[in-house]
Structure 1
Amino acid sequence: MKIVWVAAFIIYLYLLTKLILFKGHTMDWDVVRVQLITIAQQPDLIHTRTVNLTPFQEISRDWHSLSLHRPGTAIHLLGNVMAFIPLGIFIPVLMGNKLLSGAKVLVLSLLLSFAFEVTQLLTGMGIFDVDDLMLNTFGGVIGYVLYSMLIGMKRMIVGGTARTARKEYNSNQSRV
């Protein structure tokens, strides 16, 4: 079963890369290579890239546009969150649902999102946006919460004890 999860995770990363870097078009790694060589040879080009380092700037703009009934902005807001929800499920499944899994999901969602944003900045294949970092990370956390809820429901239905449930003995109770 683990092999199926690993295969699904690889497919997920492929599709996520295709969506974020290549905007759903054919994945052409030569374009990435050429862009990286260009930025290495002319580092001043980095200043020509569009960057948003102001938290909530694009989120606020998109939220306002939603009130003006522009559906494209909903895709941007929800898409950034929804794209990382599967990551919040894959991490505890593949790494084991152990203590601090939520923290792992938070950190790994942030790091993967940051890797995509830096790649967009260096290649010019998108915009480095701090709001995307926040939305993507939030999506990973939502995925983890959904995973945890499903595991909790499974334990209730199938039976078994919860991880945190422990019986503590009161000193007044008799021990057998």
Structure 2
Amino acid sequence: MKPKEFNMKVIWVAALIVYLYLLTKLILFKGHTVDWNIVRVQLMAIAQQPDLIHTRTVNLTPFQEISRDWHSLSLHRPGTAIHLLGNVMAFIPLGIFIPVLMGNKLLSGAKVLVLSLLLSFVFEATQLLTGMGIFDVDDLMLNTVGGMVGYVLYTMLIGLKRMIVGGTASTAKKEYNSNQSRV
């Protein structure tokens, strides 16, 4: 790896760490100061009294909250639009980070889908176990859609870059290299 490529990789990893910190602050701590001691105390409470899990609010019905928010969209209730769009927008950067850091390979879209779903599930499960939010299957879906939107934006930007800069498609490059090796 060239020094310039290594430096860019370090910058992207640092940006991912900052993004994950801000995402954690937004989802678990609702924008307040990140205090891991709160999480520890809540997890200790659930470990000592597992019956507390039954007191947590959970939505396991797909599209229940999305439908409710969609029908109550109005200028008088901007919180519903923030909930819908915020869950999508919060995961758009993840859909960009994954192919950049893992390489834009054939299965990048599948990686984004799975990793967006897994990260969202970790946040939702943490909210369930700590009581610092509500486990909502709709949030899982909206966050995963956000990751996929980010991936689509990333692929569109790469395609636009190739059109402007004049890069070649990877299949054409492979055919050229295979023809060259036969000579």
Q: TM-score, normalised on structure 2?
A: 0.88
Any unmatched runs of 5+ in structure 1?
169-176
Aligned to 2:57: 50
Any unmatched runs of 5+ in structure 2?
1-7, 176-183
Give me the whole-angstrom Cα distance separating, in 2, the residues matched to 1:99 and 1:63.
35
Give me the whole-angstrom Cα distance separating, in 2, the residues matched to 1:70 and 1:165.
52
1:71 aligns with 2:78: yes
Aligned to 1:173: none
* Letter of the 2:94 counterpart: L
How many residues in Structure 1 have an aligned counterpart in Structure 2?
A: 168
Give me the whole-angstrom Cα distance separating, in 1, the residues matched to 2:133 and 2:14.
28
Instruction: After superposition, give the CA deviation of every residue in 1:120-172 in whole Å (9 maximum; x if it has no partner).
Output: 0000000000000000000000000000000001011111222355899xxxx
The partner residue of 1:5 within 9, 12, 34 is 12
Retained in 2: the 8 A contact 1:152–1:162? Answer: no
Aligned to 1:156: 163
The partner residue of 1:19 within 22, 26, 29 is 26
Give me the whole-angstrom Cα distance separating, in 2, the residues matched to 1:161 and 1:2.
23
Retained in 2: the 8 A contact 1:109–1:136? Answer: yes
Give me the whole-angstrom Cα distance separating, in 2, the residues matched to 1:76 and 1:89.
22
Q: Which aligned runs of 4 or more in structure 1 are off by greater than 4 angstroms?
A: 164-168
Aligned to 1:131: 138
| Partner SS for 2:34 | coil
Aligned to 2:103: 96
| Partner SS for 1:84 | helix
* Letter of the 1:4 counterpart: I
RMSD: 1.5
Q: TM-score, normalised on structure 1?
A: 0.92
